Amino acid sequence: MSEEVFRWIVAAGVILAAISFVVQAGVVLALLRVAKTTQAKVMPLIERVSPIIDSTKQIIAENRPRISEASSEVVQIIKSIREQVATIGSLVRETSDRAKLRVAQIDETVDNTVERVENVGTAVRSAVLRPVREVNGIVSGMRAAIATLAHGRRSSVDHATQDEEMFI
């Protein structure tokens, strides 16, 4: 490569670098303008919000002891509630166990009562039917005796045989 071509290449590089510096400067100036317009729009908003932030900081600073006191009370209340819930849970379990025991006892008592009522019913039936059977037997005997006396004759052997054949 000749020296003249080299100089032209170096000159072109310098020109390109100069152009890029100018473009960068333009971009920086455009960004500066955008930042200034944004600052101009945001500053009134910051001026309005700044007193609110200051008063909020003051309110928080004034109420910090109250907030910490309230939160410690809330923690104590929650602990108390947990203890009471545990106590109530144990009472409910104990009551449930007792109720199950009582229901089992009542069921057993009802079963025993039903069995006794059945026994009494059987005894009453037997006590009532026994005299009825006895009276029925006596009445049947009296009928047979009256029938025998009224007819006055004995049945023949043929008649007795015929009666026995009916049962066979």
- Is the alpha carbon torsion for 94, 95, 100, 105 positive or negative? positive
Distance CA 55, CA 48 (A): 12
Q: Which two tokens stand for residue 15?
A: 């020109």
* Terminal-to-terminal C-alpha distance of the chain: 152
Q: Which two tokens stand for residue 160?
A: 């007795």
Domain-wise residue ranges, the chain: 3-151
> Which tens digits make up the pLDDT trace of 113-158?
999 999 998 888 888 888 888 888 888 888 888 888 877 655 555 5
CA angle, 79 then 80 then 82, to 5°: 65
Mean pLDDT of the chain: 87
| pLDDT for position 127 | 84
> Which tens digits make up the pLDDT trace of 2-17?
889 999 999 999 999 9
> Which tens digits make up the pLDDT trace of 67-90?
888 899 999 999 999 999 999 999
Distance CA 2, CA 13 (A): 17
